[in-house]
Amino acid sequence: MLGIVLFLIILFVFLWKLTVEVKENSPPTFSGWIPIIGHLYKIIGGRERLSRTLFDLGEECERKGGVIGFYVGAQRHFVIVDPEDALTAANSSLSKHAIFKQAEPWLGNGLITSGGSTWKMHRKLMNPAFHLNVVLGYLDLFNNQARSLVENLEDEVDKEPFNVFQYLSQTSLKTICSTAFGINVDQDSEFCNKYIHACEKLIGIQTRKFQNIWLQSDLIYRLSGFKKKEDELIKYVHQLSNSIVQRKRMERKERHKEVKSATKMQSLIDLLLNLSGDQVFSQEDIREEIDTVIVAAFDTTSWSLTYALLVLGSMPEIQEKVAKEIEEVLGPTDRNLDKDDLQKLVYTEAMIKEVLRLYNVLPAVLRDITEKVQLKNYTMYPGDQCMILINNLNRHKAWGLDVEQFRPERWLGEAELPEHHSAYFATFGIGRRFCIA
C-alpha cells in the first residue's frame, strides 16, 4: 500500500514538474491553474465559455505586464497583449498553431494552414492577385452585388426584426466565388449555390470542433458522426472546385493564350493557372489556394459587414454623417461607385476602420514557436505556443482615454493615431504573416 502511495506521489510530482516546468524568464501563470490539466477546463464548454476565457485572459494579461502563461495540459502558451512583444513574436514565428491542422483535410497546404517555407513561396507568387488594381477591376461586380443586396433587404422593411447576417453571408460568398473562380454568379448560379451551401455546412462543423475541445479527440470526433459528415462535404467541395479549375483550364486552351500579367479582371484562378503553366502550382495547389481564400474571406467579411450595419443602425449620428458623405459624392444620381468616388469617401472609410478596430472578428493570432524568441522580459522556446490577443491590441491605451468609444474621427488625422499604429490595429493580423495568411 505504501509503495502505491509513494508511486502516486512521485508520478504526481513528475507530472506537475512536466506541466509547469520553470524555464528561464517564464511569465506569470494565468489564474486557475490545476496540476496536470492546467487551464484545460477553462476552454471546455462551447463558444460562450471560450469567449469568457479569452476576455479574462486579456484582462489579466494587461494587469500582469502584457505576457502571461496559459497551459493546456503540459503545453505552454504565451498569451501576449503587449504591442512590442506581439510584433516580435509574430515576426519571429511563421508556423501556424497546431489547431489549424484540423482544416488541412479541406484546405491542404493553402495560405492558412501551410508552414513557413511553403507559405513564403505561395504568398510571394500570389501577391499580384491581391494588387489594388486587380481589386478595383471588380468594381462593377461589387456594385451589382451591393444593389442586389439592397433589393433583398427591401423585402424586410417595416417587418419584424430579422437576421441580417444570412443576407450578408450569401452576398459575400457569391462575390468572393466570382472573384476567386472568375465565374459569373448569375450564369453559374447552380454551382455557386451548391458551393455556398457545402461551405456553410463545413464551416459550421469546423467551428463546432474548434469550440468544443473534446471533439478534437480523433476517437470522439469519429464517434460523434461529425467526422463522416465532414469527409463527405470535403469530398464534395473538392469535386466542385476541381470542376471549375478544369473548366477554366479548357477555356484557356481554347483561347490559345495565357494572361501573364495582372490585368484589370484577372481572377485568382487565372493567376494560379499561369503558375500551373510554369510548373509552379499543381492542380491540387490551385484548388487548395482558391478554397483557402474563399473560406478566409467569407466569414470575416460577413461578420464585419454585420457589425457595420449594427453600428449604423444603433448610432443615428454616425449613420447621418455616412449618408451625407455618400450623397455629396454621388449626387442625386443612382450611378455606380467608381475608383475616384472611393477616394472621396473619407468618413465612410474611417467608420469602417473603427468597426474593424472595436469589433474584430478573429480573437487571436496563434503561432507555433519553432526557435528561441526573446521578448522584452521573457523567452519563448521551441515547443511553446503563442497567442496574441487582437482585441486587446485594438483597445490598447495608446489609442487614448476614449479607446472604448466608437469614434471614426480618430482615423481622419495621423495625430490621433498611435505611433507605429500597425502594432495597435491587428484586425487583419500582425507581423509578416498577415491577413489571409
Which residues participate in the annotated binding site for heme? 435
d(C-alpha 58, C-alpha 341), whole Å: 39
Known binding site: residues?
435
For helices 116-126 and 268-277, angle between their N-to-C axes, nearest 10 degrees: 110
Contact 284, 159 (CB under 8 A): no
> End-to-end distance of the chain based on CA atoms, in angstroms?
56
Do residues 364 and 390 make contact, with C-beta atoms less than 8 angstroms apart? yes
How far apart CA 12 and CA 6 sit, in angstroms, is: 10
- Nine cell digits for residue 92: 519571429
**50 vs 42, 162, 217, 361, CA distance in Å?**
7, 27, 18, 14
Amino acid identity at 46: G
Non-local (6+) Cβ contacts of 340 within 8 A are: none
If one counts every other C-beta atom within 10 angstroms of the C-beta of residue 154, the result is 8
- Residue 27, CA distances (Å) to 21, 111, 318, 361 in order: 12, 31, 42, 27
Going along 360-432, which residue ranges are E strands? 364-368, 373-374, 379-380, 385-389
Whether the Cβ atoms of residue 116 and residue 95 lie closer than 8 Å to each other:
yes
